[in-house]
Amino acid sequence: MNPKTISQMTPALVALISMLVIMPFQIVALTSVALPGCPEICGDIQIPYPFGIGPGCSLPGFELSCNTTNNGAPAPFLLNGIPVLDIDLTWRTVRVKKSIISSCYNKENTSGMISNSTDDSWNLSGTPFWINNWQNVFIVIGCDVIASITFGINETNTRLGGCITMGCYSADIINYNGACSGPGCCQTYAPQAINYYQVSLQHWNSNSSKQYNSSQFCGNAVLVENGWFDISNHITAVNLYKQQMPVVLDWSIGNEACETAKANRSSYACISDHSFCYDSTNSPGYWCHCSPGYEGNPYLEGGCQGYPCPAFSRPKQNRPGECQLYVSNVIGLIIGLGLGTGFSTFLLCFSIRKRIKLFEKRKNEKLKKKFFNQNRGFLLQQQIASDDDATQRMRIFSLDELEKATNRFDQALILGQGGHGEVYKGILMDQRIVAIKRSKIVDQAEIEQFINEVVILSQINHRNVVKLYGCCLETEVPLLVYEFIPNGTLSNHLHAEHGPLTWDHRLRIALETARAIAYLHSSASISVLHRDIKSTNILLDDYFTAKVSDFGASRSVQIDQTGITTVIQGTFGYLDPEYFYTHRLTPKSDVYSFGVILAEMLTGEKPNSSTMFEVGGLVTYFTSGMRENRLEEILDPQIAVNEVHRTELEVFANLAQMCLRRNGEERPTMKELEIHLEVLWRFNRQHEHPRASQTLEERQLLPHESIAGNDTTRQYSFEQELLSSFKLPR
């Protein structure tokens, strides 16, 4: 090629390169969502692997069929003909249609209180699917209908729920105005981790003065996606018969935990580069996810691809989502064209570099703004700013500060991890040692819990409540910064992971936990109901001082408010049965959970262990042992029992039994429990060290004010009941 031709080409090449700079292109090739040769779409619904249509196109249990519907359009179906509405790899859900359970009868033909009964069940046992407990709700529609619902796992380990409709004046049409409230409608929620339910519908006739507009009555029950009433605010109870409604199912891979599955590479499902697994939170098995900076299908080879970069740039090694300039080919081309284009090349390279930096700066600013809004940053700032004490106690950290504190989240600094994420040990610039909580999963419910936890902890300052130093909102998933508690959880120590606990330690930990919860209920600036009191949420420092933690499920109420009606949340085994059946959360709900911990400390048994399941649960095991005077038989063998301890153990066990009363009104308050555990601790100190003067540790533990000073009559009678157990014959 002669010089004249080259000189004629140069302006065109420069113009072309400039256009490429002005119009960035994506470096990520479009990848298939299904296995090669398998259908990717059925109708207008995308079918991503591990789902698939046809032999060899899916993982076991995820097979779909693509059939023609009544309107002539193709649609996917799951299992035994369940219509599929949507499949979401990111949130690990599949939306399907489920038929309404209906029962209709004529009023004139009904005699007595109860009419014909209709039963229906849904059993997902043996499939990878589980019922999502927070995106669905059970709704019962119709006049005078009783719905009994049995929830369970594989038709076993069942729990009973349900609701009753009453008080409507029209059996045909009920206008709900966008919510299931008022006559003719009631609702309840499914517990976590179930794959089976059975519903029984019955009609009842109140024989009251109601005059119904129709002789035909229909009762309907349906498990339906939350928000269905928002678009269905005028419902005819009769014409719901045999209709289908949307339901959200969770799914997971296999029955093994993530770490176990990774050991078997032949069956491990997260096969894409730049992917990882984490344990399912609602069922056995695990999920796959693309690493930060990558997106796509982690279940396919090469399914996770890096985010796009502009022209003449490429992803940085080990820095996913960031781009670097790549102009070696361009420079070689320019040199070949001659020195005459040198100045143009310089300007072009300068322009490319400046554009990439501007691109990265704008991208980071947009991401930070997006994450800040997504994490309710403005709301959080307002909540903290409204409280001067909270402003002094906590602050909002930058991501740079926390990356320096953890050496860019070094894996060697992980204190603990689970399905939801990791907790890292870090050292701040002021040399404070902290624990940094970082979640793996972006979940709207978890973001709400994060905000809730920050707001509540920012208003609490107590020796036995874990301190929140601050948070970071500059990441996709918010980060929380706590004081570092080095000695694990109460559960770790009770169940032999960190060695046995002495009786003195158990008694003191119970007292300090009671102090913290009593403070939350009645002494803090707001009244806080913890809602998830359990042994894994009680942390211990090097001196075995108890620290109550994890306020993600907590609710704040007015000091003079006796309780609130709310969605059930907590941990089975510790959950108050009265709260479970009524949805009424009160301070006595925390008292019940605290009673379970006392029983756990006495027996050394886990509330949710298979051993306890065989005998009806820890509460049944403990209360039956107390009724039959078998306390020493059910005691943890690690507790050394002498005559002094035997007296203390009997009183301690009586306290636990009072906390576990079925009727919440009959349970003591946390303040009463704190007072009587103080009495018991003083008794322990006097008999363990009768001649010793009070130590500094004891002076810190015991309040200086008189126990009996301003107590109520209820507290006095409770103390008499407690102290009388010191005199029980042996």
240: phi then psi, degrees, rounded to nearest 5: -75, -10
Determine contact, residues 126/285, Cβ cutoff 8 Å: no
Pairwise CA distance, residues 587 & 4, whole Å: 90
Give the torsion sign (CA, 107, 111, 114, 117): negative
One-character DSSP codes across 333-390? HHHHH-GGGHHHHHHHHHHHHHHHHHHHHHHHHHHHHHHHHHTTHHHHHHHHHT-HHH
Pairwise CA distance, residues 476 & 442, whole Å: 7
Total Cβ atoms within 10 A of residue 110: 15
DSSP state of 501: P
Pairwise CA distance, residues 654 & 51, whole Å: 55
Beta bridge partners of 514: none
Total Cβ atoms within 10 A of residue 455: 20
**Residue 354 annotated in ligand binding:** no
Residue type, 58: S
Pull the structure tokens for residue 276: 């990882």
Pairwise CA distance, residues 272 & 285, whole Å: 18
Q: Which helix (H) or strand (E) holds 595?
A: helix 587-603
* Angle (CA) 60 65 71, round 5°: 160
Determine contact, residues 601/639, Cβ cutoff 8 Å: no
Determine contact, residues 154/217, Cβ cutoff 8 Å: no
Answer whether the bond into residue 50 is a cis peptide, omega within 30°.
yes
* Environment class of 367 (CB within 10 Å of its CB; exposed 0-12, middle 13-18, buried 19+): middle
Pairwise CA distance, residues 616 & 607, whole Å: 10
Pairwise CA distance, residues 655 & 719, whole Å: 11
Pull the structure tokens for residue 105: 């009868």
Pairwise CA distance, residues 373 & 119, whole Å: 47
Q: Pairing between strand 546-548 and 538-540?
A: antiparallel
Pairwise CA distance, residues 185 & 204, whole Å: 15
Catalytic, out of 532, 550, 576, 590: 532
Instruction: Specify whether 144 is catalytic.
Output: no
Provide the annotated binding site: 437
Which residues are designated catalytic? 532
Provide the annotated binding site for ATP: 437
